[in-house]
A = this chain, B = another copy of it.
Amino acid sequence: MERESQNGEYDGSVMTEEQMEILRKQIAIYVVISNNLRLLHHSLSSFNPLSSGMNQTGLGNFDQMVASSSGHRMSTRQRWNPTSTQLKILERIYEERRGTPDPRRVREIAKELSEHGQITEKNVYNWFQNRRARSKRKQPQTTTTMAGQADDAAVATEDEEERRSCEVSGGFESYDHILFPTPDLGNIFIH
Bound form: Cα–Cα A29–B70 in Å: 21
In the complex, which range does the number of interface residues on chain A fall in? 35 or more
Contact of A155 among B26, B34, B78 (CB under 8 A): B78
Q: Is A133 an interface residue (CB 8 A)?
A: no
Q: Is A131 an interface residue (CB 8 A)?
A: yes
**For residues 53 through 98 of chain A, which have their beta carbon under 8 Å from a beta carbon of chain B?**
53-65, 67-72, 74-78, 81-92, 94-95
User: Is A166 a contact partner of B157 (Cβ separation < 8 A)?
Assistant: no
Bound form: Cα–Cα A141–B116 in Å: 19
**A67: chain B residues within 8 A (beta carbon):** 155, 157
Q: How many copies does the complex hold?
A: 2
**For residues 153 through 191 of chain A, which have their beta carbon under 8 Å from a beta carbon of chain B?**
153-183, 185, 187-191
User: Is A6 a contact partner of B91 (Cβ separation < 8 A)?
Assistant: no
Provide 5 A-B residue pairs closer than 8 Å at the C-beta atoms, listed in order of the A residue.
A8-B85, A75-B159, A114-B147, A115-B149, A117-B155
* With A29-B183, A42-B166, A116-B154 already in contact, 16 other A-B pairs whose C-beta atoms are closer than 8 Å: A1-B36, A24-B58, A33-B185, A34-B188, A35-B187, A36-B185, A52-B158, A56-B159, A60-B190, A61-B159, A61-B190, A76-B156, A90-B171, A91-B172, A159-B183, A166-B172
